[in-house]
Structure 1
Amino acid sequence: MFRVPQRWCVHAYYSLCPYAPDGSGRILIAGADLEQNVAEVIVLSAQGEQLQRIGAVPIQPSFWHTGLWQSWSPDSKMIYFQSGSLEAPRTTRYHLETGESIEVDGDIEGIPPCGEPAISCDHGMLYAAGYGGHSYNPELCRVPFQARTKHGISKIDFQAQQTELILSTQAILEQHPLRDQILQAEQAIQARLGPDEGLTLMTYCVRWNRSGTRCLFFFGNHCVDRSRQEPKITSIFTADRDLKNIHMAIDLSFDRRGVHWAWQADDEHLIGYGPDPVDSSKICLAEIRYDGTGYRKICAHASGGHPSTSPANHDLIVTDEGSASGGNVVFISKQSGQTIQSVALPKFVGASEASGRNPLRVCHHPVFNHTGDRVLCNSLPDDLATLVELQAPSIES
C-alpha cells in the first residue's frame, strides 16, 4: 500500500499508465489536502517514497474520480496535469529536472504515449451536462452544446502555447452511421423543449493505445441529466494519431447497453462491456477490433467496471466490480472467460456507497504497469484514499 500522510490520493485512470516509461518504477499520482481544498501531483518511488510534489490546484469535482489527469512525457522528464477549473480548463507541463513550467488553455486526459502535441476535449462539458450526479448546467460550458462546429477535439501545442479545434462534434455527427436516427431523436427534443434546444451531444474521453498509434474517443450524451429525458447516444470511434482513418468501433446508443471501452495491450482491439449477443437486455465483457469488426463475448462478467489486458500476456484481463461491502479487483482469462483471481479492496466509507464524485468513494481503476507484472489500484480504507499495488497472477499464455 502506498499511503501519503494527510493526502487523499488516486492515480489518473485505468487506461493511462501511471508508471514512468523509463523503467524506473516511479509512479505518478495526485493527492488532495482536504483541509486546504487543494491538490498536487506527487511522484513516488517504486517503493512508495515521495520524490517530488508539484502544484497547488483548487479541487474540482472530477478530482475524486481521476485526480489531475497527471501523465508522463515519453522520456519521463516532464509531467502534464490539469491546473484550471471545469469552467476555465488549463493544462500545465512541468519539467521535473529544471522546474520549467508552461501552462496552456484547455485540458488533456493524459499526454499521448508518443508525446506532444496533446489532443484534448472539453472535460467540463461532461459535468455541465450532468455527469457524476450533477444537474444540467449549460452555463458552465465555454461553448454552448448546440454550437457543435465550435467544440470537439482540439490540438494543444505547448511550444506555441496554442489550442486549435481540429475535429468538431458536428463533423463527427455528419459522418455518423446513425446520423439520421440521431437527428430524428433531436427533432423530438426540439418539439418538447423548443427550437433552440437539442440533444446534448459532445465529444469526450480521448484514450490512447499503449504505442500511441491510435486513439479512441466517445461521441454522444450518455452522461446527460436524466431530467432532460434524452435518449442515450453513445458511440466509440477510433482514429490514427492524426485523427485520420476514423471508424465507428461500437455503438451503444438508444437501447444498446454497455460502458467503459478502452484499448487492449495488442493496440488493435478494444475491450469493454457491451450487449450480450444472446440476450441484448444484458451486458457482458466483450471485445471488438478497432474498425468495428469481430465483436465477441468474452464472458458473462457484467460489473460495468474498467477492463484492460496485460502487456506481458494478452490473455490476462483485469477489471473491477462493486460489492455491498466494498469492491473487488478481478483477473479473468480472455481465452477461457474464467475468473483467475479476485482481490477485495475497500471502495467507500459509510454504510453504503455514496453517489456522484466525492471523497467518500473511489473507483478502483486497476491498471497494469509497462511490464505487466503489477497492477495499481485506488482504495479507500478510511477517510484518505490510497494506492494499492497487486502482483499480477500467472496464467499460461
Structure 2
Amino acid sequence: MSLPSRVLHVITGLGVGGAEQQLRLMLRHLPVRSDVVTLTNPGAVADGLRADGVRVGHLGMRGNRDLAALPRLVRLIRDGGYDLVHTHLYRACVYGRLAARMAGVRHVVATEHSLGDAAIEGRPLGTGTRGLYLATERLGGATVAVSVTVADRLRAWGVPADRIHVVPNGIDAVRFRYDPAARAAARTRLGLPADATVVGGVGRLVPGKRYDRLVRACAAQPDVRLLLVGDGPERARLLHLARALGAADRVLLPGECGGAVAPVTAAEEVAAGLPPLPHLLAAMDLFVSPSTEEAFGLSVLEALAAGLPVLHVTCPAVDDVPGSEAPGAYRVGAETERLTAALRVHLAAGHGRLPVPPVVRRYDIARAAERLTGVYAGLTGTAPAEPVPPPARPDTGRLAAWIPGASVPPHAAGVNRRRGAP
C-alpha cells in the first residue's frame, strides 16, 4: 500500500476539544511521518502533541480575515516538502486547502469534525459560510466525514459522493475501563461524597451543547449532584442558573481536564489540574449528553467505554448503528421537561455499572487509523511507500525558521520521535 512520505496537519486551534484531541490520538497510530501547524491558540493539546514527539507550529493568525497568514502557510507547506496536507476544522479547511493548492501539493484531505444540521462548529450555516466551504472543498481530493450522518449532510450540501469517505472517530477504550479506586480518588479530590448519586457531562460549555437543560433537570432531582467537565463562555451563566434554582451546592463545574488521550509524562498529568477524564467518568453514575447538534458524539462513546449508562439527545456514533450494539445508551427528548422525566425514571430504576457494549469496539482508534491510512493510500497512487525510519531524539530546532514570519518561541518545536519527522 502506497503512503505519503510527509504529512502536514493544519488545524484551526489546539485548545482542549474533541477534534483537537482526536488528532493527537490519531497521530499515535498513523504509520506516516506527520507535523502539525495550528492557525491559532496553541493550547494544551499542542503541549501534548509535543510531549508525544510531534513537531508543532503556530501560524499566529489573528482572525478569520487575517489574509497575511495565507502566504506564511504556503511557504511552510512548500519548504517542508509535504506530499499530503490534511486539514481539520472550518477555518483550517478553508485556508489549508487554498494554501496547499498554491504550494503545489496534489494531495489534500479534509476531515469534517463538526457539521450539524444548522451549524458548523457552533457558527450558523449561512449562505456565505456554506459557499466558502464548498468553493474550497473543490480544491481537495478527499473529504473525511466522522460519521454516516455527517457524510449524508455533506452530500446534501453538494459535495460529490466519490470524494466523501467515512472515517469515524476512534477511542482508546482500554484507557476508559472502570476502576473503583480511581472513582474513590476522583470523588475525594472533587469533594463528592462516596454515596452521592452523580450525573455527569463532558464537553465545551457553549450554547449548542444545551447544558442549561441538564442543569435544570438535575436541579429538579433533590438528591443528585451534577459534575459537568469542560470550559467555555457559558460557564458563568450555568453557575448563575444553578444558584437561581437553589442547586449551587449540587452543581460542580471544575473546568477542563487532561482529556481522553493518555499523557506521556508525569509533568503533563500534573499540568492537567484535574483527574484525567477516565477517572472523572469513573466518579459518575450516569452520563447525559443534551446536545442537539452532534457530528459524532465522542463523549458518549467514552462514557459507554467506562461502563456508564447514557442518556443522549443525539449521537450519530450510536444512532447510526443497530440498537443491539449500544445497550445502555438511551435516546431522549431534547426539551427540558422530557430530559427531566427521563432522568427521574432512570435514577429510580437504579442502574449500576454496565458491561462495555459492542459499539465501543467498533470505534477502536486502531481501526480508525487503518481506514484513514487507506484514504491516504488511495490519493497518493502506486509509488512505493517510503519506509518509516527508527525513532529519533527530540530536536528543539528553530521553529521561527520553519514558519517564516511567525512569532513563536524557539522552544516550541520537537521531532516526531515515533515516526522520525524532520
Q: Quickly name the TM-score band, shorter chain normalised.
A: under 0.3
Structure showing greater Rg = 2
The structure with the greater share of residues assigned to helix is 2
The structure with the greater share of residues assigned to strand is 1
Give the TM-score taking structure 2 as reference length.
Answer: 0.26
Tell me: higher relative CO, structure 1 or 2? Use CA pairs within 8 A at least 6 residues apart.
2
Give the TM-score taking structure 1 as reference length.
Answer: 0.28
